[in-house]
Structure 1
């Protein structure tokens, strides 16, 4: 196993005693909020009444009018999604929301990764012509689809682009574009996922329709869509700022109350999770991978059908199908990851840190283009370096598709833009944001791209950023190793990107160690030589060798729902000899 040196860094900050915290929030949770810059109790778990209004988003008023006119005219609206979880949930939100708001003719489509490639391409537009749309709405893509938008406009269609990815120097020729990352956009939160953008467009549309007297009362309750918004937002790893936390928390409340759409309820069931205790981590590790697997290996149309299905029995059938595809995806991913590690083992000195390559580019002609993003992500986590992984766009293709993943402090889309500017024509197309991006190029140009990208990383990446840091919330006191605090931590979120789940560190004595599965460890520990024995689990822990008799651990404290009662468990994220 190639692994970087890791260092635990504490981010402990005392809570403000003057803040009017509710009595049920324990001091431990107040301290954790303070470490994340939250000193106002209202911002710790923001509610929907604190949601930012849509008015400041560029183009959103025009988008609402465009949609309202299409609904009034009985025109056919075609929603075109993307083949990841954010794109699938955004498509489902758009279709469900437009129908709730009175649209009578709404269709949807999604590109097939292997056939069409990313986004709205001219080839996809040609296929969509059979649906005879009047208005085409992109969700979670479109800002970089210049040729596809132009092809749609050439057919006489109106085009509304809704996206959250960073725009390039020029914009596509759409009728209206809504993207909070447009230059000059005044919307305070730039962290919305694609599903959040289309949800905001629907909020603005409802406002226009109210003004036109379309409803007898206030109109449909669009909060019914927040289960989907929560899943797409968490899955896309956008920062959970206060606005996104309000959206995700509201969606989680619906799912926990059993009021999620049948497709999500079925996915929760097939993943072996309990809806009443669902967390953002469950979305990220259980629901999102099953939806994403369809777009990676098969066709995301299956995932979107599951999210749009209102018949529970059929939703369960689709969820089981997605579960099977995800199992296949795990096997393909592990094979590719093993091959990638074997390929780099001889040319990267990561363990010592000395002479290590600042970035990596990998390509294998037998890799699957739908899984390279996961391989890049796993390698980025293990090596703590920016990684770009490539595969043929389809078997035998002369075009490669690449997925790039980065570390904090190295903006991966800007890095691709710099390479593109330095060597025009080297990259065919690219897009993305700070931590993740995608690109395509000719296979013959891979060596040139590798040299240019790694040279850019070497010249701009601060070596200090290559030190993998584990941010800890400090030590837990003996009286905090209990179910009360474990549940308070679980329910104190939603936790996620930019608002990390609480992680603690401390020294422990090893009482017992048992392997389970092929790569995992169950541990019995005692905290710093005192207190009652504690159960712990380390996923993938067997790959790090035998645990030392005394260890320093970075861990999460969670309720042990398998044993129930007052049982708790430590989930070990990192261990080193004490």
Structure 2
């Protein structure tokens, strides 16, 4: 059964299925059952997507055999990862895992300025830094890096490629390639991340040759699950259990801050600076056995990054360590160096630096750089909105670092509601142009641009790199995007206008009132049992209808909003004060205003031992 969970439309149900109405003697419908019905989440579907068994990737066994021969012969592997969060996860997983398994192994730090493909310059750099290399092992890349692989083979190196990107003709040039998107692959779920591919290889190797190390290797699911969420892989089938396992391991590395800071209510508040990383449950377990220092360092680094985010106010308790933390805090921070031009070394140093103090310091620098990234994003967004943009609203020119194009395209896409491409501004008609494209779920950029000689896109359908052979193709790109969007809009219908899974508020069209919180609290608790949420299994959203509210700016910089209903329900809207405060204040002060509608997610907030329902607004309707 196919679940339409990201662009669903609300189904009209018979009156008997309504949660409430004026006659309160009628039985209330089950809100959770109603939500599942509208999502298409039958019991059979939910059971099917939780099945984690999967086939063996092609040539995985061949690579396992090759690895054992390399270990026995004393060969030296140099790992060449990509530079995004999945690449960092892959590199750390591979380095820690191979070290733990007794290999001679080096970890190459990639240069994002060269792009995602492995280049001859990368190979020369590896050869200069690690002259004893006999084997090149790529992760999260390499399947289409023909020039780089040729350069490695010319040095006499054995070439092993682990990747998850689509293999293109004429195919990989490596000695052995393991990739779920190989041209001849039949693996059912193509959407597994690069770190997951390498994890499967190491797990199979340990099972075949060092079964006493299986427990240690399986703990590296921490990094494979992180790569899965950060690379926006579908949270279905084997990926679901992988993400669950990853979060469980991450929570074993969380240490609660001791409560030593007096607060105005006579109690004590947590002091994140006093967190003792060594007290993490998993680190204490690892300390009872012999493990390679590089292996232990990877987990100590993760514990250190949790402390750093606690000090930054982003991880308040163990419940904060969830898939949202991976996707909205950790991955953006680790991806920030290439957005700002900052060196990527710190992202790897978090897991590989000699001491815990150095790993913690590296994570603090990464977080600080991410704050700079946010400032730069705002600056360059102003350039797109207010500057000279002759090809708007489809193609925008930017002077931002190339690594920021995707972020900027996504922001503009969310503003405009249609596909957007952000590129460098060319100086001559014959100059090549490159950038990034972002599109709503109903528009496929790669498919749309396929077949045109002067331009192409590579990556994911709604998030991809876009290249033009010359600037003369820019007008053609605009025409293609505009015409294709119009055609798609005629056929996409309701899919272009997502609604809440439930409508909450006063009125006959609503499924439940907001002032009766008991059924809503029960709904939230039952929805939580379906985690993890993510790509292709999105977290439910509700439409809330507010008929009167008070609004106030909150936060250290008054950047957030809190809307409070007459019955005390708090509706939080993060980073919305600048854009929304004036409008919402006018509505709140107008006694004749029509009810205001928002899309939001329901949450439970624990405060002073009391559980309270709150809504987190995503956007107004």
* Partner residue, 1:327: 371
What pairs with 1:164-243 in structure 2 (closer than 5 Å)? 164-209=164-209, 214-215=210-211, 217=212, 219-243=214-238
The CA deviation string for residues 171-229 of structure 1, in whole angstroms up to 9 with x for no partner, is: 131111111122342212111011111111222222332xxxx45x4744322112212
Do residues 312 (structure 1) and 356 (structure 2) align? yes
Which of 522, 534, 537 aligns to 2:569? It is 534
* Partner residue, 1:521: 561
Distance 1:282 1:156, change over 3 A: same
Alignment check: 8 A CA contact 2:134 2:158 kept: yes
The CA deviation string for residues 288-347 of structure 1, in whole angstroms up to 9 with x for no partner, is: 111111343323332122134584322211111111111111111111112112248887
* Partner residue, 1:20: none
**Aligned-partner SS, 1:489:** helix
Distance 1:295 1:74, change over 3 A: farther
**Aligned-partner SS, 1:63:** helix
* Partner residue, 1:160: 160
Provide the aligned C-alpha RMSD in A. 3.2
Distance 1:300 1:327, change over 3 A: same
Alpha-carbon distance in 1 for matches of 2:373, 2:152:
34
Alignment check: 8 A CA contact 1:263 1:315 kept: yes
* Partner residue, 2:536: 498
Shift of 1:123: 1.4
Alpha-carbon distance in 2 for matches of 1:223, 1:33:
33
The CA deviation string for residues 356-375 of structure 1, in whole angstroms up to 9 with x for no partner, is: x6xx22222x2111211111
Which of 268, 279, 283 aligns to 2:306? It is 268
Alpha-carbon distance in 2 for matches of 1:304, 1:98:
16
Unaligned runs of 5+ residues in structure 2 are 1-6, 15-28, 254-281, 284-298, 505-511, 588-592
Shift of 1:565: 2.3
Distance 1:294 1:363, change over 3 A: same
What pairs with 1:341-356 in structure 2 (closer than 5 Å)? 341-343=385-387
Alignment check: 8 A CA contact 2:136 2:158 kept: yes
* Partner residue, 1:354: none
**Aligned-partner SS, 1:66:** helix
Shift of 1:560: 2.5
* Partner residue, 1:509: 547
* Partner residue, 2:462: 435
**Aligned-partner SS, 1:560:** strand
Distance 1:253 1:137, change over 3 A: same
Distance 1:315 1:533, change over 3 A: same
Distance 1:80 1:559, change over 3 A: same
Do residues 91 (structure 1) and 91 (structure 2) align? yes
Distance 1:145 1:12, change over 3 A: farther
* Partner residue, 1:462: 488
Distance 1:413 1:180, change over 3 A: same
Distance 1:344 1:186, change over 3 A: farther
Unaligned runs of 5+ residues in structure 1 are 1-6, 15-25, 349-356, 527-531
Q: State the TM-score, normalizing by the size of structure 2.
A: 0.76
* Partner residue, 2:424: 391
**Which of structures 1 and 2 has the bigger CA Rg?**
2
**Aligned-partner SS, 1:555:** strand
Shift of 1:499: 0.7
Alignment check: 8 A CA contact 1:403 1:439 kept: yes
Alpha-carbon distance in 1 for matches of 2:12, 2:363:
42
* Partner residue, 1:18: none
Structure possessing the higher relative contact order (Cα contacts under 8 Å, 6 or more residues apart): 1
Shift of 1:101: 2.4
Distance 1:382 1:44, change over 3 A: farther
Alpha-carbon distance in 2 for matches of 1:155, 1:375:
41
* Partner residue, 1:489: 527
**Aligned-partner SS, 1:313:** helix
Alpha-carbon distance in 2 for matches of 1:563, 1:119:
52
Alpha-carbon distance in 1 for matches of 2:226, 2:601:
22
**Aligned-partner SS, 1:262:** helix
**Aligned-partner SS, 1:9:** coil
Q: State the TM-score, normalizing by the size of structure 1.
A: 0.82
Distance 1:44 1:305, change over 3 A: farther
**Aligned-partner SS, 1:221:** helix
**Aligned-partner SS, 1:492:** coil
Q: How many residues align?
A: 522
Do residues 123 (structure 1) and 121 (structure 2) align? yes
Shift of 1:129: 1.4
Greater displacement, 476-485 / 155-164: 476-485
**Aligned-partner SS, 2:543:** strand
Alignment check: 8 A CA contact 1:408 1:435 kept: yes
* Partner residue, 1:451: 476
Do residues 281 (structure 1) and 309 (structure 2) align? no
Do residues 555 (structure 1) and 589 (structure 2) align? no
Alignment check: 8 A CA contact 2:52 2:240 kept: no
Alpha-carbon distance in 2 for matches of 1:159, 1:233:
25
Alignment check: 8 A CA contact 2:31 2:519 kept: no
Alpha-carbon distance in 2 for matches of 1:138, 1:455:
36
Alpha-carbon distance in 2 for matches of 1:310, 1:275:
28
Alignment check: 8 A CA contact 1:241 1:498 kept: yes
Do residues 402 (structure 1) and 446 (structure 2) align? no
Alpha-carbon distance in 2 for matches of 1:52, 1:75:
33
Distance 1:486 1:266, change over 3 A: farther
Greater displacement, 264-273 / 87-96: 264-273
**Aligned-partner SS, 1:403:** strand
Shift of 1:140: 1.1
Alpha-carbon distance in 2 for matches of 1:90, 1:270:
22
Alpha-carbon distance in 2 for matches of 1:317, 1:369:
27
Distance 1:187 1:45, change over 3 A: closer
**Aligned-partner SS, 1:141:** coil
Greater displacement, 120-129 / 295-304: 295-304
Alignment check: 8 A CA contact 2:346 2:363 kept: no
* Partner residue, 1:3: none
**Aligned-partner SS, 1:282:** helix
Greater displacement, 148-157 / 450-459: 450-459
